[in-house]
A and B are shown apart, each in its own frame.
Chain A
Amino acid sequence: MTTSQDLLFRTLADPTRRALFEHLCHHGEQTVAALTAQAGVSQPAVSKHLRLLKQAGLVLDRHEGRQTHYSARRRALVPLLDWTSQMAGFWEQRFDDLENLLNRMDQ
């Protein structure tokens, strides 16, 4: 779970990739050419980002003739929306702050 979450966060931390993913969420299946037209970066860059999104399970590709069509796989986000891991992360951070406080109380 942690590993897949790390990969998801890492992949989505990049604004260009996030924009591509959001675009696919909102507009459905798109070709690389169509995605490049709105991405504001070169086609090879778009292809590279799509490859990384695919590795993280965030998009699916479908080949049709010479065109590759990409679509968003929203189910991939489910682990991020799982409250147990969110809450555990929340308490780990609070414990970090508590440790900090305890060390200062020591002085």
Chain B
Amino acid sequence: MSDTPTETRSVVVEREFPHPPDRLWRALTQPHLIEEWLMKNDFHPAVGHRFKLQGEWGGTLDCEVLVVEPDKALSYTWNFTHADPAFDLRSVVTFTLTPTGTGTRLRMEQAGFRPDQKQAYGGARAGWPQLFEKLQQVLEKSA
């Protein structure tokens, strides 16, 4: 919250799963499995591969694979093109897998948001869709 306007921010979510890295890797890289926990996609684990993530809200994220290190690291761009700069999003998602004694720690970092970003498509629609939309309308109407 203390960023200066020129910086970008990132979101980090970490969790330890009681499963071996190769199982996580499959869930992160096989399209039919990715669809089960993230979004519909045409992912392929090859650097330079461009793919789309289809959000339930009807929007599409444009992605390009940047890093593929089996069972260790996966990174791709996570971009949402929108004419309104408040909605336009350029970010990079990086998954890091670290084996632990009992499973795997998965770290997700999404970096590259601008501090003036008002909306993060994908996230904004995930939790409280109607209420959030309402609030947004209230803010816009009464601005």
Contacts and interface: CB of A to CB of B under 8 A. Distances in A.
Interface of A: 9, 12-13, 18, 21-22, 25-26, 72, 74, 77, 80-81, 83-84, 86-95, 97-102, 105-106
B113 to A, nearest CB: 6
B60 interface: no
Given A87-B120, A89-B126, A94-B37, A99 B13 contact: no
A85 to B, nearest CB: 9
Interface of B: 9, 11, 13, 15, 17, 19, 23-24, 26-27, 33, 36-38, 106, 108, 110, 113, 117-120, 122-124, 126-128, 131-132, 134-136, 138-139, 141-142
B127 A93 contact: yes
The B contact surface, by secondary structure, is mixed
Contacts of A91: 11, 13, 108, 110, 123
Contacts of A88: 11, 13, 123
A64 B121 CA distance: 44
B12 to A, nearest CB: 8
Contacts of A9: 128, 131
A13 B132 CA distance: 11
